[in-house]
């Protein structure tokens, strides 16, 4: 039986899920969110990462990223 989550494409990731997509640790993902390096929304105490914003971030060209 399909769950609602699997039948619809989710529009957001948790920080832990975004960390897996980015190939970084959970702690590094939370630090990147804290520093504003990863686009996110905070709803109450919950932090969510919009899938579209994360995909746009990953499409940056190598010279586009500033340290």
Q: What is the pLDDT of residue 10?
A: 87
pLDDT category of residue 9 using cuts at 50, 70 and 90? confident
What average pLDDT does range 34-46 have in this prediction?
Answer: 96
pLDDT category of residue 5 using cuts at 50, 70 and 90? low
pTM: 0.74
Q: What is the pLDDT of residue 67?
A: 54
pLDDT category of residue 17 using cuts at 50, 70 and 90? very high
The CATH class, in words, for 9-60 is alpha beta
Per-residue tokens: 18: 């975004």
Phi and psi (nearest 5°) for 38?
Answer: -120, 125
């Amino acid at each position: 039986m399909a769950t609602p989550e699997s039948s619809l494409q989710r529009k957001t990731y948790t920080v832990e899920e975004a960390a897996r997509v980015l190939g970084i640790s959970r702690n590094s993902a939370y630090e990147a969110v804290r520093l504003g390096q990863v686009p996110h929304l905070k709803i109450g105490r919950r932090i969510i990462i919009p899938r579209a914003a994360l995909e746009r971030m990953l499409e940056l060209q190598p010279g586009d990223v500033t340290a």
